[in-house]
Structure 1
Amino acid sequence: MLEGKIIKFYRERQNMMQKDLGSGICSSTHISKIERGLTEVSKETIELLAKRLGIDMKSEIETYLGLDSLLKKWHEAIIMKLNSKAESIKKQLETVPLLHMPDIYRSYTLILTRYYLLIGEDQYVDSLIGEMDRWLDLSPYDKNMLLHIKGIHGLLKKETDVSISFLHEIDPTYYNNQEYYYHLAFAYHSLNSRVLAYYYAEKSLRFFTEERIFTRIIEAEMLMLIQVEQDEYYHPKESEYQRLIEMTENLGLKHQRSMLIHNLAYQQVRKGDFEKACEYYEQSMDSRDPETSYYLGSLEGYINSATRQGLKSTEELLQLAEKGISLSEKINETTFKHFFHLHKYNLKNNKEEYYQYLEKEVFPYFKKMGLVLLIEHYSIKLFDYHMEKGNTAEANTYAKFLVEKYRQKDYFV
């Protein structure tokens, strides 16, 4: 009986004994049976108990029955990355004491953790995951949702291997949120494993298309496009990006539009059209908050393209590099801080300082963070540098990483 569950919840919430609640109404034994749903009880008795607890039973029942739908809408808003809607529902839920009923609390906590992952509040995520790890007798759905949460958390912490391990444990038989395929795709993208990244991005695209989640359709298609454009034999048409950009404009998706323009700029860099790359990077920066890593990424791309274009003065580009360093330090973005320092040494033509900084500061940091694509790129640069100087032993330390990555079983004589 739902009334009994609600009575028990509010009685315990108010630290009231059963005998005190039932005093003058019914016995503590009868209260116990009501709370456990083991006896019939009159409407009058329920009203008297509710009055003593200071609640409106009809309103509480309506609230309880509506919570499942509201939690589902909250989760959907988070999956769709509708931050404002997710925040609004969170505020609405925070006014509902019944969220702390045992049969609702777990669902609420799981979705709350997804919300904090969405807005980047890591300090809350760590605490909530620690609490959920102590839960016993998880339902199959809750167990798989917790694995998904840990996988996303691993991605944000740049613990890619850990993230992949959690995400591969998910059993889709019990977990219908196939959004996790996108997170698997992103994890493999971080490891520069393009085939698997494309494979899982395509699976996530099918899910987002079926659910008509347009924001995520664009993200999945963009991730797939990034994988194929890395192939030296593949030359994606600019129209593929323009189609997605037009979709973001029609849907009012400013963040996704900026991401697409940023990636389109990088495509121009690969084609050697640095003038067009600069134009796109400027467009991307114009629509971003300067105190974000997204802005820094476009600023770094602009400096790189403008340097290669050769039309901007060294002084102007150095000022932009200093701006990048300052912003990176302000928001604690170490990766971009290193990039802007490398740009400074490069612009000043300080080759020795460039490679010393790269070897002593930048490369160890990339290895620590597991940034595979950057490790591969700078391993080659450092290998070439040491070979040019005749430092064979040092060069081989960087060659070893690449050899191990591409080592295969020996099928030949």
Structure 2
Amino acid sequence: MIQGKIIKFHRELQGLKQTDLGKDICSKTHISKIERGLTEVSKDTIEVLAKKLGIDMQAEIETYLRLDLLLKEWHESIISKLHTKAKSLKKQLEDIVFLQIPDFYRSNTLILARYYLLIGEGTYAESLIKEIDSWENMTPYDTNMLLHIKGEFFLIYQKDYHKAISYLKNINPTYYNNPEYFYHLAAAHHNIDSRVLAYYYANKALDFFTKTHNFTRIIETEMLMLIQIEQDENFDNTKSGYPRLIEMADSLGFDDQKARLLHNFAYQQCRNGCYDKAFENYSQVLKILEPTNSQYLLSLEGYLNTSTKLGLLSQTELLLIAKEGYSLAKKLKDTMCQHYFQLHIFKIQNHMEKYYHFLATKIYPSFKMMGNGLATETYEFKLLDYYMEKGEVELANKFALSIVEKYRKNNELV
């Protein structure tokens, strides 16, 4: 009985004992049964108890019923990445005292963790994850939602892609009706260069986003699928799907998605040696985003890289951009981008020994630990060539062995 839960909540909120509330109305035992929904109770008794607590029971019931819908709407806005709506709903919810009732507290805490992941507050999300981990008797839904939250946390903030996958793949869709997690599985597999599984899970996520008419996430997921297709060495770059998606994002006013598409298109153009076109796309991203955006940092690094290759800027100008990027990365606590900009600084200053030492001792181990397959492989070849050229065979062999093991085939030949 909702009335009983409401009475118990306001009694405890006001610091009243059951005996105090029931005085001149009914016994302590009867109050206990009312609060637990174990007895029928007259409308008159409920009204007398509500009056003693100083509440409007009908208004309280409406708020109680509305709260469940608000929490659901808040979660859906987070899934759709509607930042403004999610922020507005969070503010509405904060004014509702019923969030402290056990019925709602756990749901609110789980969704709040997802909200912090959405807005880039990884530290707050981590503290909530620790709290949720201590809960006992969790429902199957809550247990699976926690797996999703942990997977997303390790994917985005820890960049531990294997650990992210270990959480996400254990989600049971029978109890957790949010196929959005397939997108995070796809992103994690993409980062370890597992293109087939990345495409497979992205396709499952796309089906969900299409059915729910979630255009923001449709664009995001199609972009992830494009990356898997267009990284193929035999792909014809003139048939790229990026221009279509960029036009779609532009027409819908999705600036963040447009920026990410331009960035990824630029990266693909770099891989194909089209540095001039890549430079133009990176430049567009920097005009769209604020420097506080993590995507801005990645595109600034791409802009610096293509500027260097095209010889568009002086050494002084390049060094200024590299130092700006390093400072921004440090401010945003983005270790990966700090490493990239530090590499640029060494390279621009022609400190190549420092460059390769930093690459071998900081960047390469970091990417290998995270499971970032593409970056790890790229730097293995780079370091192999460097140490071979220097005649440091032992160090060269270290990276050669890693490459050989990766491509070794179990051929049962005589």
Q: TM-score, normalised by structure 2?
A: 0.95
Amino acid corresponding to residue 352 of structure 1 in structure 2:
E
- Residue of structure 1 equivalent to 2:27: 27
In the alignment, the residues of structure 1 paired with residue 49 and residue 367 of structure 2 have an alpha-carbon distance, to the nearest angstrom, of: 63
Distance (Å, rounded) in 2 between the aligned partners of 1:37 and 1:356 = 69
The residue aligned with 1:66 is: 66
* Letter matched to residue 93 of structure 1: L
1:73 to partner: Cα distance: 0.6
Show the counterpart of 1:222.
223
Q: Are the counterparts in 1 of residues 99 and 105 from structure 2 also a CA contact under 8 Å?
A: yes
Q: How do residues 168-179 of structure 1 correspond to structure 2 at under 5 angstroms?
A: 168-179=169-180
Q: Unaligned 5+ residue runs, structure 1?
A: none
Letter in 1 for 2:152: I
Deviation of residue 127 (structure 1)?
Answer: 2.3
1:12/1:195 Cα in 2 relative to 1: closer, same or farther (>3 Å)? same
Aligned ranges 1:296-335 → 2 under 5 Å = 296-335=297-336
For residues 255-301 of structure 1, the C-alpha deviation after alignment (integer angstroms, 9 at most, x for no partner) is 11001111111222122221111111100111111133211211111
Spell out, residue by residue over 1:340-393, the C-alpha distance to the aligned partner (whole angstroms, 9 max, x if none): 222233234433332223223333333444433222111111111111122221
In the alignment, the residues of structure 2 paired with residue 355 and residue 223 of structure 1 have an alpha-carbon distance, to the nearest angstrom, of 31
Q: Percent identity?
A: 57
Point out the more displaced range, 179-188 or 155-164. Answer: 155-164
How far has the Cα of 1:10 moved from its partner?
A: 1.6
Instruction: Report the counterpart of residue 47 of structure 2 in structure 1.
Output: 47
| Offset at residue 160 of structure 1 (A) | 1.3
CA-CA distance at 1:39 after TM superposition: 2.4
Distance across 1 between alignment mates of 2:245 and 2:208: 18
Q: Structure 2 counterpart of 1:86, which letter?
A: A
Is residue 324–residue 340 contact of structure 1 (8 Å, CA) maintained in 2?
yes
Match of 2:410 in 1: 409
Residue 127 of structure 2 corresponds to which residue in structure 1? 127
Distance in 2 between residues matched to 1:11 and 1:111, nearest whole Å: 27
Give the corresponding residue for 1:84: 84
Q: Secondary structure at the match of 1:276?
A: helix
Q: Which amino acid aligns with 2:352?
A: K
Aligned to 2:209: 208
Cα deviation, 1:147-205, whole Å, max 9, x if unaligned, reads 11111111121121111011111111221110000000000111111111111111111
- Equivalence for 1:104: 104
Q: Deviations over 1:128-162 (max 9, x none)?
A: 22222222332222221111111111112112111
Superimposed CA distance per residue, residues 380-409 of structure 1 (whole angstroms, 9 cap, x where no aligned partner):
111111111222211111122223333443
Do the aligned partners of residues 306 and 61 (structure 1) sit closer, same or farther apart at CA in structure 2, a change above 3 Å counting? same
Report the Cα distance in structure 1 between the residues aligned to 2:190 and 2:387, rounded to whole angstroms. Answer: 29
TM-score of the aligned structures, taking structure 1 as reference length: 0.95
Which ranges of structure 2 fall in alignment gaps of 5 or more residues?
Answer: none
Gap change, CA 1:116 and 1:330, over 3 Å in 2: closer
Residue type of the alignment partner of 2:133: D
Aligned residue identity for 2:141: Y
Cα distance change on mapping 1:3 and 1:167 into 2, 3 Å: same
Q: Give, in whole Å, the separation in 2 of the partners of 1:3 and 1:237.
A: 65
Q: Distance in 2 between matches of 1:202 and 1:121?
A: 28
Cα 1:149–1:47, aligned 2, differ >3 Å: closer, same or farther? Answer: same
Report the secondary structure of 2:399's partner residue: helix
In structure 1, C-alpha distance between the alignment counterparts of 2:19 and 2:410, rounded to whole Å: 75
The answer to whether the Cα contact below 8 Å between 2:231 and 2:268 also exists between their aligned partners in 1 is no
Q: How many aligned residue pairs are there?
A: 413
Q: In structure 2, how many angstroms separate the alpha carbons of the residues matched to 1:356 and 1:37?
A: 69
Distance 1:108 1:15 in 2: 24
Cα distance in 1, alignment partners of residues 373 and 51 from structure 2: 63
Deviation at 1:318, TM superposition (A): 2.2
Q: Equivalent residue for 1:341?
A: 342
CA shift, 1:114, in A, is 0.9
What residue number does 1:260 align with? 261
CA separation in 2, counterparts of 1:30 and 1:113? 39
- SS of alignment partner, residue 39 of structure 1: coil
The structural deviation recorded for 1:121 is: 1.8
CA shift at 1:61, angstroms?
0.5
Superposed CA RMSD in Å reads: 1.7
Distance 1:71 1:60 in 2: 17
CA 1:357 to 1:162, structure 2 compared with 1: closer, same or farther past 3 Å?
closer
- Secondary structure, in 3 states, of the residue corresponding to 1:29? helix
Post-superposition offset of 1:78: 0.2
The amino acid of 2:84's aligned partner reads: S
2: CA distance between counterparts of 1:346 and 1:37? 72
The yes-or-no answer on 1:196 pairing with 2:197 is: yes
- Name the amino acid aligned to 2:114: R
Matched to 2:332, the amino acid is: I
Cα distance in 2 between the residues matched to 1:336 and 1:134 = 34
Given residue 374 of structure 2, which amino acid in structure 1 is its aligned partner? Answer: L
Taking the TM superposition and a 5 Å limit, the aligned residue runs for 1:270-281 are 270-281=271-282
1:185 equivalent in alignment to 2:186: yes
Q: 1:332 to 1:33 in 2, by over 3 A?
A: closer
Give the match for residue 56 of structure 1: 56
Determine if contact 1:238/1:264 at 8 Å carries over to the other structure: no
Q: 1:314 to 1:95 in 2, by over 3 A?
A: same
Could you tell me which residue of structure 2 aligns to residue 376 of structure 1?
377
Within 2, Cα distance between the matches of 1:131 and 1:342? 39
Deviation at 1:312, TM superposition (A): 2.9
